Amino acid sequence: MSHHHSHESNSLQQAVTPTRRAFLKNGGIGLLTFAAGPTFLKRAAWSASSSSSRRKVLVAIFQRGAMDGLAAVPPLEESRRLAKLRPRLHVSAARAAGEQSVLDLGVGYGMHPAFAELLPLFEEKRLGIVHAVGSHDPTRSHFDAQDYMETATPGRKGTRSGWLNRVVGELGHEGTPFRAVSLTSALPRSFYGEHSALAVANLDDFRVRASGARQSVSAGNGFESLYQQTTQDLLRSTGEETFEAMDVLSKLGSADSRRGRRSRANSYPRSPLGNSLNQIARLIKADVGLEVAFAESGGWDTHVRQGALGGSFANRGRDLAQSIAAFWDDLGDRQDDVVVMTMTEFGRTAAENGSAGTDHGHASCLFVLGNTIDGGKVHGRFPGLAEGDLYEGRDLAVTTDFRSVFASVARDHLGVSDLGQVFPGWKAKPMELFRA
Phi, psi (rounded to 5 degrees) for 130: -115, 120
Q: Are strands 180-182 and 364-369 parallel, antiparallel or unpaired?
A: unpaired
Phi, psi (rounded to 5 degrees) for 198: -115, 145
Range of the domain at 19: 2-43+52-422
Question: Is 432 part of a structural domain of the chain?
Answer: no
pLDDT tens for each residue of the chain, 436 residues long: 444 444 433 333 333 333 333 233 333 222 333 333 333 333 333 444 444 468 999 999 999 999 999 999 999 999 999 999 999 999 998 877 667 899 999 999 999 999 999 999 999 999 999 999 999 999 999 999 999 999 999 999 989 999 999 999 999 876 677 899 999 989 999 999 999 888 888 887 653 433 344 444 444 444 444 443 333 344 444 455 555 666 666 666 555 544 544 445 579 999 999 999 999 999 999 888 999 999 999 999 999 999 999 999 999 999 999 999 999 999 999 999 999 999 999 999 999 999 999 999 999 999 999 999 999 999 999 999 999 999 999 999 999 999 999 999 999 999 999 999 999 999 999 999 999 8
Question: Is 433 part of a structural domain of the chain?
Answer: no
Instruction: Write out the H or E segment, with its range, that includes residue 277.
Output: helix 272-285
Nearest to 368 by CA among 415, 314, 409: 409
Q: How many domains does the chain have?
A: 1
Q: Are 383 and 362 in contact (CB under 8 A)?
A: no
